[in-house]
Amino acid sequence: MKRLMKIKSLLTLLFLVLPFSFMACNKDENLNASGNTENELQGKIENEFQGNVIIIGAGASGLAAAKKLEEEGISYQILEATDKLGGRIQKNENFADFPIDLGAEWIHEDKSILNYLINQPGNEPNVETISYQPMNVQQVVDDLIVQIPNQEMVDYYAGYIKEYKFKRTTWYDFINENFAQSVEQNIIYNARITTINYTGSQVVLTTENGTEYQADKVILTVSIGVLRSNVISFNPPLPEKKISALQDVEFLPGFKLFMKFSDKFYPDVISFETRSGEKTIYDAAYGKESQDHVLGLLSTGISAQEYYLLGNSDAIVDSVIQELDGYFDGLASQNYLGSYIYEDWGQHTYTQGTWTSDFEKSSKNLNDSLDDKVYFAGETYNAHGIAPFQEFYIIRGSVQSAILSGYEVVDQILE
């Protein structure tokens, strides 16, 4: 039992960037409580709403909401604070001979979820994926690195979880092709919202340069970190129950680091015990048929805060190389090619954190709208963590949770 608990802890760290989800329920049970069928996931529904909607944020949930509004013929705009879409879903195509996911990386579900999210039939998505089941896994406990026996890993995958990654593409490509391309004409970039006034019949949004926008309904998709930082002022102020619900959500600082080496001296995964958050080093090229050797580091919570104390990314890389040298007899320094990517989500102005914890139940106040005018969407807000029609059980924090949240909030507006 002790070993099993260690493996569960390890795999919690193993499935990175956005928390994993479990397959549940028979896929033949595809009716929801209202008797709707799966084919209605993105289909038109009867509604009386004829106003206009503004979506704040062009991440996964905002783009999904926009696509649904587009299909319903509802007028909408997307206000994006940065100069690019995707939110915490980004990629780099120049670092290695395969694209690097700078943010969300794992599918965290059976690959058939990809078809489900875009209302396509069948279990085989129209994009190449790999089954992510690394067997060469080591764990660091009290500065000692130990191997997890292969059979225990086999038993774990067989009885606990399915996991996939994109083989030649990224989450960014999936979001761009299936959502952004049909709605990007309605995105206004570099439009950072500083004030949301919902006192009147319409919501008035003001950007940092003083531009005002008005809408009948607003869908707010910024991260929990941004909401908690109070960079957006609300009039009236957020209710105390909403503030308390936001504070209760675990949304830790953290970063992703990718380093290139001349040889593969490392296992598939190295996990570390931490007091909070996670720290995992992993073979980013696993299953990619790559000629490059790239190690990824995901650090959140206490480990990220300790790295931040070093002052800058160069110092962080030097520290990580030294750690690896200690475990692998100096091979990290010998093989390091001096090239890295550092993506710091925890200190980014427009994210201020990584993702929502998947192990906590959120207060129902978290999802409450503001006077039926301002609605909240994102990976944190997928209602009860359950996908429509009971086909998948979606833990908060995943990309699919964000997408489904975007759909759900549009349904609320149109009802």
- The pLDDT of residue 359 is 56
> What's 353-394 look like in SS3?
CCCECCCCCCCHHHCCCECCCEEECCCCCCHHHECHHHCCEC
Q: Residue 395 maps to which CATH number?
A: 3.50.50.60
Residue 245 lies inside a defined structural domain of this protein: yes
State how many domains the chain has: 1
Q: 391 and 29 in contact (C-beta within 8 Å)?
A: yes
- Beta-strand (E) ranges in 167-216? 187-188, 193-197, 203-207, 212-215
How far is 226 from 219, CA to CA, in rounded Å? 15
- The pLDDT of residue 109 is 87
Q: Which tens digits make up the pLDDT trace of 151-210?
A: 999 988 887 777 899 999 999 999 999 999 999 999 999 999 999 999 999 999 999 999
How far is 242 from 220, CA to CA, in rounded Å? 14
Q: Which tens digits make up the pLDDT trace of 283-307?
A: 999 999 999 999 999 999 999 999 9
Residue 264 lies inside a defined structural domain of this protein: no
With a CB cutoff of 8 Å and minimum separation 6, the contacts of 310 are 316, 319
Residue 207 lies inside a defined structural domain of this protein: yes
Residue 146 lies inside a defined structural domain of this protein: no
- The pLDDT of residue 313 is 98
Residue 231 tokens read as: 């960079």
Q: Which tens digits make up the pLDDT trace of 218-236?
A: 999 999 999 999 999 999 9
Residue 58 lies inside a defined structural domain of this protein: yes
Residues of the chain scoring pLDDT < 70:
1-47, 358-363, 382-393, 395
- Beta-strand (E) ranges in 155-223? 164-166, 187-188, 193-197, 203-207, 212-215, 217-220
Residue 31 lies inside a defined structural domain of this protein: yes
Residue 320 lies inside a defined structural domain of this protein: no
Q: What end-to-end distance do the CA atoms of the chain give, in Å? A: 49
What is the domain range of residue 84?
2-134+151-250+355-414
Residue 268 lies inside a defined structural domain of this protein: no
